[in-house]
Structure 1
Amino acid sequence: MKNKTLVLGASTNPNRYSNIAIKRLRDKKLSVVALGLKKGKVLDVILDDEKQDYENIDSVTLYLNPKRQKEYYNYIIGLKPRRVIFNPGTENAEFEKLLVKNNIEVEIACTLVLLSTNQY
Protein backbone atom coordinates (compact mmCIF):
# COMPACT_ATOMS: atom_id res chain seq x y z
CA MET A 1 0.00 0.00 0.00
CA LYS A 2 1.38 3.43 -0.86
CA ASN A 3 0.97 6.63 1.12
CA LYS A 4 1.99 5.02 4.37
CA THR A 5 2.54 6.91 7.57
CA LEU A 6 5.47 6.05 9.82
CA VAL A 7 4.73 6.76 13.48
CA LEU A 8 8.17 7.31 14.99
CA GLY A 9 8.27 7.06 18.77
CA ALA A 10 5.35 4.62 18.83
CA SER A 11 4.15 3.15 22.12
CA THR A 12 1.81 0.34 23.18
CA ASN A 13 0.72 2.54 26.11
CA PRO A 14 -2.87 3.61 25.30
CA ASN A 15 -2.32 6.92 27.12
CA ARG A 16 0.49 8.01 24.77
CA TYR A 17 -0.34 10.31 21.85
CA SER A 18 1.60 8.09 19.44
CA ASN A 19 -0.70 5.19 20.37
CA ILE A 20 -3.81 7.32 19.88
CA ALA A 21 -2.45 8.54 16.53
CA ILE A 22 -1.99 4.96 15.29
CA LYS A 23 -5.59 4.17 16.23
CA ARG A 24 -6.97 7.32 14.56
CA LEU A 25 -4.92 6.73 11.41
CA ARG A 26 -6.25 3.16 11.20
CA ASP A 27 -9.82 4.41 11.91
CA LYS A 28 -9.42 6.44 8.72
CA LYS A 29 -8.21 3.29 6.89
CA LEU A 30 -4.73 4.76 6.38
CA SER A 31 -1.71 2.51 6.06
CA VAL A 32 0.56 2.72 9.12
CA VAL A 33 3.95 1.38 10.16
CA ALA A 34 5.41 2.10 13.56
CA LEU A 35 8.80 2.28 15.20
CA GLY A 36 9.31 2.52 18.95
CA LEU A 37 11.58 1.44 21.77
CA LYS A 38 9.79 -1.87 22.28
CA LYS A 39 8.14 -4.39 20.00
CA GLY A 40 4.41 -4.66 20.32
CA LYS A 41 1.12 -4.21 18.54
CA VAL A 42 -1.56 -1.52 18.40
CA LEU A 43 -4.70 -2.76 16.65
CA ASP A 44 -3.30 -4.45 13.53
CA VAL A 45 -0.10 -2.37 13.47
CA ILE A 46 3.12 -4.11 14.50
CA LEU A 47 5.54 -1.88 16.41
CA ASP A 48 9.12 -2.48 15.32
CA ASP A 49 11.98 -1.78 17.71
CA GLU A 50 14.66 -1.50 15.02
CA LYS A 51 14.89 0.72 11.94
CA GLN A 52 13.30 -0.92 8.91
CA ASP A 53 13.59 -0.17 5.20
CA TYR A 54 9.95 0.82 4.90
CA GLU A 55 8.81 1.58 1.37
CA ASN A 56 6.36 4.18 0.09
CA ILE A 57 6.42 6.34 3.21
CA ASP A 58 4.38 9.46 2.53
CA SER A 59 4.45 10.96 6.02
CA VAL A 60 6.58 10.55 9.12
CA THR A 61 4.86 11.75 12.27
CA LEU A 62 7.31 12.36 15.11
CA TYR A 63 6.73 11.54 18.75
CA LEU A 64 10.38 11.90 19.81
CA ASN A 65 11.91 14.88 21.55
CA PRO A 66 14.54 16.80 19.54
CA LYS A 67 17.46 15.21 21.40
CA ARG A 68 16.28 11.68 20.52
CA GLN A 69 15.58 12.63 16.88
CA LYS A 70 19.26 13.13 16.04
CA GLU A 71 19.97 9.42 15.53
CA TYR A 72 17.09 9.27 13.03
CA TYR A 73 18.04 12.21 10.78
CA ASN A 74 19.71 10.18 8.03
CA TYR A 75 17.27 7.32 8.42
CA ILE A 76 14.22 9.53 7.87
CA ILE A 77 15.81 11.42 4.98
CA GLY A 78 16.71 8.05 3.42
CA LEU A 79 13.06 6.95 3.52
CA LYS A 80 12.30 9.91 1.22
CA PRO A 81 8.94 10.83 2.73
CA ARG A 82 6.87 13.63 1.23
CA ARG A 83 6.59 15.28 4.65
CA VAL A 84 7.60 15.08 8.29
CA ILE A 85 5.09 16.18 10.91
CA PHE A 86 6.55 17.68 14.07
CA ASN A 87 3.94 17.13 16.78
CA PRO A 88 3.85 19.49 19.79
CA GLY A 89 7.08 19.17 21.77
CA THR A 90 9.05 17.68 18.87
CA GLU A 91 9.89 20.92 17.05
CA ASN A 92 13.53 20.91 15.96
CA ALA A 93 14.98 23.77 13.84
CA GLU A 94 18.18 21.85 13.03
CA PHE A 95 16.30 18.84 11.65
CA GLU A 96 13.72 21.03 9.90
CA LYS A 97 16.52 22.75 7.93
CA LEU A 98 17.98 19.37 6.92
CA LEU A 99 14.60 18.16 5.72
CA VAL A 100 13.95 21.29 3.65
CA LYS A 101 17.45 20.97 2.16
CA ASN A 102 16.44 17.44 1.08
CA ASN A 103 13.14 18.61 -0.45
CA ILE A 104 11.02 17.11 2.31
CA GLU A 105 8.03 19.13 3.46
CA VAL A 106 8.02 20.17 7.12
CA GLU A 107 4.75 20.49 8.96
CA ILE A 108 4.56 21.81 12.53
CA ALA A 109 1.22 20.40 13.56
CA CYS A 110 -0.62 17.88 15.68
CA THR A 111 -1.42 14.70 13.79
CA LEU A 112 -4.53 14.16 15.93
CA VAL A 113 -5.85 17.64 15.07
CA LEU A 114 -5.05 17.17 11.37
CA LEU A 115 -7.00 13.89 11.40
CA SER A 116 -9.96 15.28 13.33
CA THR A 117 -10.29 18.25 10.98
CA ASN A 118 -9.82 16.17 7.80
CA GLN A 119 -6.61 18.02 6.92
CA TYR A 120 -4.36 14.96 7.08
Structure 2
Amino acid sequence: MKKKTLVMGASLNPARYSNFVISRLVSHGHQVVAFGLRSGNVSGIEIDTELKNYEAIDTVTLYLNPTRQEQYYEYIIGLQPKRVIFNPGTENPEFYQLLKDANIDFEVACNLVLLSTNQY
Protein backbone atom coordinates (compact mmCIF):
# COMPACT_ATOMS: atom_id res chain seq x y z
CA MET A 1 0.00 0.00 0.00
CA LYS A 2 1.36 3.40 -0.99
CA LYS A 3 1.55 5.98 1.80
CA LYS A 4 1.00 9.73 1.47
CA THR A 5 4.06 11.21 3.13
CA LEU A 6 4.91 14.70 4.34
CA VAL A 7 8.64 15.43 4.33
CA MET A 8 9.28 18.09 6.99
CA GLY A 9 12.59 19.92 6.48
CA ALA A 10 12.74 19.34 2.73
CA SER A 11 15.80 20.75 1.00
CA LEU A 12 16.64 21.68 -2.59
CA ASN A 13 20.25 20.63 -1.94
CA PRO A 14 20.77 17.22 -3.61
CA ALA A 15 23.40 16.35 -0.99
CA ARG A 16 20.78 16.47 1.81
CA TYR A 17 18.99 13.32 2.92
CA SER A 18 15.58 15.03 2.81
CA ASN A 19 16.13 15.72 -0.90
CA PHE A 20 17.18 12.15 -1.59
CA VAL A 21 14.24 10.69 0.34
CA ILE A 22 11.75 12.73 -1.72
CA SER A 23 13.20 11.17 -4.87
CA ARG A 24 13.14 7.69 -3.36
CA LEU A 25 9.55 8.03 -2.15
CA VAL A 26 8.46 9.19 -5.61
CA SER A 27 10.34 6.32 -7.30
CA HIS A 28 8.56 3.88 -4.95
CA GLY A 29 5.20 5.33 -6.03
CA HIS A 30 4.28 7.11 -2.80
CA GLN A 31 2.37 10.39 -2.89
CA VAL A 32 4.66 13.07 -1.45
CA VAL A 33 4.16 16.57 -0.10
CA ALA A 34 7.04 18.60 1.27
CA PHE A 35 7.66 21.53 3.58
CA GLY A 36 10.92 23.46 3.76
CA LEU A 37 12.48 26.89 4.11
CA ARG A 38 12.93 27.47 0.37
CA SER A 39 10.41 26.80 -2.37
CA GLY A 40 11.42 24.77 -5.36
CA ASN A 41 10.97 21.41 -7.00
CA VAL A 42 12.51 18.03 -6.20
CA SER A 43 11.60 15.10 -8.46
CA GLY A 44 8.39 16.83 -9.50
CA ILE A 45 7.38 17.63 -5.91
CA GLU A 46 6.94 21.30 -5.00
CA ILE A 47 8.41 22.26 -1.64
CA ASP A 48 5.90 24.39 0.25
CA THR A 49 7.20 27.18 2.47
CA GLU A 50 3.87 27.74 4.20
CA LEU A 51 2.14 25.16 6.35
CA LYS A 52 -0.85 23.62 4.62
CA ASN A 53 -3.71 21.52 5.87
CA TYR A 54 -2.73 18.41 3.95
CA GLU A 55 -5.42 15.74 3.81
CA ALA A 56 -4.94 12.04 4.57
CA ILE A 57 -1.27 12.10 5.61
CA ASP A 58 -0.14 8.59 6.49
CA THR A 59 3.44 9.39 7.46
CA VAL A 60 5.38 12.49 8.49
CA THR A 61 9.12 12.01 8.09
CA LEU A 62 11.26 14.51 9.98
CA TYR A 63 14.45 16.17 8.82
CA LEU A 64 14.41 18.88 11.49
CA ASN A 65 16.56 18.85 14.61
CA PRO A 66 14.64 18.66 17.93
CA THR A 67 14.92 22.40 18.59
CA ARG A 68 13.37 23.22 15.20
CA GLN A 69 10.61 20.63 15.66
CA GLU A 70 9.07 22.36 18.66
CA GLN A 71 7.30 25.02 16.60
CA TYR A 72 5.61 22.29 14.53
CA TYR A 73 4.35 19.98 17.31
CA GLU A 74 0.74 21.18 17.17
CA TYR A 75 0.74 21.34 13.38
CA ILE A 76 2.00 17.77 12.95
CA ILE A 77 -0.36 16.37 15.60
CA GLY A 78 -3.22 18.31 13.98
CA LEU A 79 -2.60 16.52 10.67
CA GLN A 80 -3.39 13.26 12.50
CA PRO A 81 -0.84 11.13 10.64
CA LYS A 82 -0.71 7.41 11.32
CA ARG A 83 2.99 7.71 12.18
CA VAL A 84 5.96 10.03 12.45
CA ILE A 85 9.45 8.89 11.48
CA PHE A 86 12.36 10.40 13.41
CA ASN A 87 15.36 10.11 11.09
CA PRO A 88 18.93 10.10 12.50
CA GLY A 89 19.62 13.39 14.27
CA THR A 90 15.93 14.17 14.84
CA GLU A 91 15.38 12.02 17.95
CA ASN A 92 13.14 13.88 20.40
CA PRO A 93 11.75 12.21 23.57
CA GLU A 94 9.59 15.25 24.36
CA PHE A 95 7.81 14.92 21.00
CA TYR A 96 7.53 11.13 21.40
CA GLN A 97 5.42 11.70 24.52
CA LEU A 98 3.17 14.22 22.79
CA LEU A 99 2.64 11.77 19.93
CA LYS A 100 1.85 8.94 22.38
CA ASP A 101 -0.68 11.18 24.12
CA ALA A 102 -2.30 11.86 20.72
CA ASN A 103 -2.31 8.12 19.82
CA ILE A 104 0.07 8.65 16.90
CA ASP A 105 2.68 5.98 16.27
CA PHE A 106 6.31 6.95 15.78
CA GLU A 107 9.51 5.25 14.72
CA VAL A 108 13.13 6.17 15.26
CA ALA A 109 14.50 4.96 11.95
CA CYS A 110 16.11 6.00 8.70
CA ASN A 111 13.49 6.56 6.04
CA LEU A 112 15.96 5.54 3.32
CA VAL A 113 16.71 2.24 5.05
CA LEU A 114 13.00 1.54 5.51
CA LEU A 115 12.43 2.09 1.79
CA SER A 116 15.43 0.04 0.67
CA THR A 117 14.44 -2.93 2.87
CA ASN A 118 10.72 -2.80 1.95
CA GLN A 119 9.77 -1.96 5.54
CA TYR A 120 8.26 1.41 4.72
TM-score, normalised on structure 2? Answer: 0.97
> 1:16-27 residue pairs with structure 2 within 5 A?
16-27=16-27
Superposed counterparts of 1:1-120, under 5 Å: 3-120=3-120
Secondary structure, aligned partner of 1:10: coil
Output one character per residue of 1:36-65: Cα deviation in whole Å (capped at 9) or x when no partner: 001110011000001011001000000000
SS of the residue 1:57 aligns to? coil
Structure 2 residue ranges without an equivalent (≥5): none
- Counterparts of 1:83 and 1:100 in 2: how far apart (Å)? 10
* C-alpha distance in 2 between matches for 1:3 and 1:82: 10
Partner of 2:118, secondary structure, is coil
TM-score by length of 1: 0.97
Q: How many residues align?
A: 119
CA contact (8 A) 1:3 1:56 kept: no
Report the 3-state secondary structure (helix = DSSP H, G, I; strand = E; otherwise coil) of the residue aligned with 2:73: helix
Q: Which runs of 5+ in 1 are unaligned?
A: none
More strand by share: 1
In the alignment, the residues of structure 2 paired with residue 84 and residue 20 of structure 1 have an alpha-carbon distance, to the nearest angstrom, of 18
Using the TM superposition, give the Cα deviation of residue 3 of structure 1 relative to its aligned residue in structure 2, in angstroms.
3.3
Partners of 2:116 and 2:43 lie apart in 1 by 19
